[in-house]
Chain A
Amino acid sequence: MALSNKTGVFICHCGTNIAGALDVHKVVDASRALPGVAYAADYKYLCSEPGQQLILDAIKEHGLKRIVIASCSPRMHEITFRKMLKKSNINEYLLEIANIREQASWVHTDFDKATEKAIDLVRMAVAKVGKSEPLKAQAIPITKRALVIGGGIAGIQAALDIADAGHEVVLVERECSIGGRMVMLDKTFPTLDCSACISTPKMVDVSAHPNITLMTSSEVEEVQGYIGNFKVKVRKKATYVNHDICTGCGLCEEKCPFKVESDFDRGLSKRPAIYKLFPQAVPAKPVIDKDACVKLKTGKCGVCLKICPLNCIDYEDEDKTVELDIGAIVVATGYKPAKWQSMYNEYGAGRFEDVIDGLQFERLVNASGPTEGKIKRPSDGKEPETVVIVKCVGSRDPKKGHAYCSRACCMYAAKHAHQILEKLPGGRVFIFYIDIRTPGKGYEEFYDNTRKDGAVYVRGRISRIFREGDTLVCQGEDSLLGRQVRINADLVVLETAMEPAEGSADVLNMLGCAKNDDGWAQEAHPKLRPVETQVGGVFLAGVCQGPKDIPDTVAQASASAAKVIGLLNKDEMETSPMIAAVAADKCSGCGACEPICPYTAITLEKTPDREPGTGKKIERSVANVNAGLCQGCGACTVACRTGAIDLLGFRNTQILQEVDALWQ
């Protein structure tokens, strides 16, 4: 190596913290004798201003090329000393810290043995730094545009926060309007404010924001690249309506002769084939459902085209693919309610019209819903007298559903009970529960009030629901009484589990993000990095990461927006240079390193080369490390038998030198 080994060793007293427990001078003397060491000195506090100056002076004076500092833990001051080296002509990575405080002077009682250990630690550091090489942090340029996948309340909040900070945002939503699950709800617990009243203004904000490009009826199709430099393909599905001209007058919707079940109303009403998702939809313009439109299917009809005063209907519309350069991605794909019908035969498997799920109840009780807010049972439109609410349908049931708790059901079940008691005077509500979980501000109080309102909480899981004549009998155990109970109900509401939204697995796979066994997106660390993923530049917002209620969803959305803003505020990003590097000439392309990487940073790439011996032009596979993705764990290096892939800053030779130094 061309670089000189002229190493300077500096021993810190740390007051008496080090000097009081071991013989600093003996360490200095021993250091001086080590191979490569050109200078050794000690000082009371090396981290102090004069301490640092002492080192800088010594570098100049003695022409030092590498530095070893024996002091406190590198976790404490490694960064301090690296910064200090920036003022010298030595690369800041030609520095090793020997931890003689936390791991020697503080933990040992025998003065001589502690001294001996400190000498060993210095010897290891000197040996290692002798093999260190100058490293330069790489700068990755950052595209200042964020992509938010999913236009529910999480996506909306994240998009608004990022846009408000002055960055461009593309919000992609697969439905024809943003709003997600929240706009379907009637009221939100525990404050009982109207869900649409608080979410629709935000939707309008999104559409009006100069920094937000809204892409509804669109799906992310392909993601490539890495933090700061993603290339994303979005497919804009055909809407058959020219939204540039359409004013959303609604004539076509009125006149369309064909009606299908409304997904938005969860099958409780019908909507035309040309439709807006709901009256306050954003964008407030209709689209044609190509599976329902007779014109598109058979060519006969065309009523909407005839009626449209502005000629916006275009039956020839086709899907388009848009390519975007993106710097950061927020995943906000949300959830879907569990399909209880295929899980619970004992609840009728969907045979009973009057057994509905919580989201259907939201539509029933919603003033803009199919019954204009009157609670009527679907079978005959009668007002129910007795309503049974069943919790944990699909949740906390490893056999038929999911092992996890869906977290929001206890509270919205209480809300449903409250709404029933409010709207149906004389009505009775029984809530079957296993445990009641109300950890949240004002939550327990809300539950308390619902109970006082007269909702009867029965501790037990409903065992089965059957029809007897006109009523539905809910049979379960009141486990507090230890007696079986059979309740004749007019309406049964099943509070179903949340499941990852349809297609969320595809999105996560595309991004290279991990999922847990239940399909929820895996955060980088459950406590300390809750909105980040293992993939740099990809963040999580809302239920896609796990069941949660609206306050938590919005909080997490803002948190991920903060992370995105922090990233996009930079023009370029410095990555740690201590990452894996491949010596292409040694790499045999066996690919053993590839599956080890948790960040999918390693790919095998075809590299042009010449065949040894013949000189024939060939292409061979060589491992390639994506510096934007690699986090520097070094697990790959062990898989490489030849040592072609190595970890900069912790090279095989460096660690071997440390080992060897101990027994020289």
Chain B
Amino acid sequence: MTNEQKQTLMRERAAALMKDGAVSYVIGWRETRFPGKTAIFFVRDEKDADMLVWDEYTIPLTAKYLTENRWPDKKIGIFARGCDSKAINRLISDNQVERENLYIIGLPCEGKKDDRCLSCTQRDPLIYDELLWEPENATGTSETDLQRARFFRAEEVESLPTDARFAHWEDVYARCIRCYACRNVCPVCTCRECYVDMHRTGFQGKHHDAAENRVFGVTRAFHVGDRCIECGECERVCPMGLPILGQTQKIIKTIEGLAGTYEAGMDPEADSFLGKFDLDDKDTFM
């Protein structure tokens, strides 16, 4: 099936859902005035369904936009690929959305023109009410078939000596403008009030310098680390183009080293790594 055919299917389905009044709106993608860039689009009217697109640039994660309306009167329709479905699972296990409030239209994904798709192992949606077309590969891509290592960004930094690593991050965080786009786009950043926004003295100083930005970077990584679904949106939306994905990748890699295979968002029932323990956990604390 071509992308165009798929797009037609999506438009038809969204239109039908709106017509039936089954959902209050459907979250998908539309074109922007910039070629090669799409934006998240809420189909609020049957006739708007024709604005939906599906091509190699429909990259943004739809799931996070569910948090715009946590107490909907009607179900919310949402188009979800593998990555979106992991994010939806995460939102469900974080009690941010309720499954029964969602109508999930699963879209098996052929991979987009984005870096994150090179190490994607979950092209097919994990959770959905209907699949719009045949699954790509029911079992996902095997580790060996990946076009890029799962923890590529972390490994780039790991290869540096300690001092150079410090310098690397110093350079990164010196450029950080603390716009918090990385936080805003992240499907697991769902606090009512983010700790960085608290007006009284808290964990995050208000200075704007490399050192303080670094605290933000590491803290953010720690806050999302064991729940990170590895979608890479944070890095994609960074206006300064900072390679910040390595931080969370490093955490997941460490978890795997401690406790074996680990992937967040696969199961809405699963506990996250830091929410449980094992009596036999390894440590080097003496």
Contacts and interface: CB of A to CB of B under 8 A. Distances in A.
Do A and B touch, yes or no (CB under 8 Å, in the complex)? yes
Interface of A: 585-592, 595-596, 604, 611, 616, 618, 620-621, 639, 641-644, 652-653, 656-657
A295 to B, nearest CB: 48
Nearest to A610: B71
A588 B201 CA distance: 20
A618 B276 contact: no
Contacts of A652: 202-203
B274 interface: yes
Contacts of A596: 275
A620 B96 CA distance: 10
A505 B52 CA distance: 55
B102 to A, nearest CB: 17
A639 B275 contact: yes
Interface of B: 70-71, 94-96, 190-195, 198, 200-203, 223, 271-272, 274-276
Question: Majority SS of interface residues in chain A?
Answer: loop
Nearest to B192: A588
16 contacts: A588-B94, A588-B95, A589-B95, A590-B191, A592-B94, A595-B271, A611-B70, A618-B71, A621-B95, A639-B274, A644-B192, A652-B203, A653-B200, A653-B201, A656-B201, A656-B203
B44 to A, nearest CB: 16
A621 B223 CA distance: 20
Given A590-B191, A595-B275, 13 more contacts: A587-B192, A590-B190, A592-B94, A592-B274, A596-B275, A618-B71, A620-B70, A639-B275, A642-B193, A642-B195, A643-B198, A652-B202, A652-B203
B176 to A, nearest CB: 19
A590 B201 CA distance: 23
Nearest to B226: A592
Contacts of A641: 191, 195, 223
Contacts of B193: 585-586, 642
Contacts of B203: 643, 652, 656
Contacts of B202: 643, 652-653, 656
Contact of B71 (A588, A611, A642, A644): A611
Nearest to B71: A618
B180 to A, nearest CB: 14
Given A596-B275, A618-B71, A639-B274, A591 B95 contact: yes
B73 to A, nearest CB: 9
Contact of B95 (A590, A611, A656): A590
A618 B72 CA distance: 10
Nearest to A590: B94
Contacts of B195: 641-643
A355 B274 CA distance: 51
A621 B200 CA distance: 25
A100 B96 CA distance: 48
Contact of B94 (A591, A611, A616): A591
A596 B192 CA distance: 21
A532 B73 CA distance: 49
Contacts of A591: 94-95
Nearest to B279: A517
A72 B62 CA distance: 59
A591 B274 CA distance: 12
A114 to B, nearest CB: 28
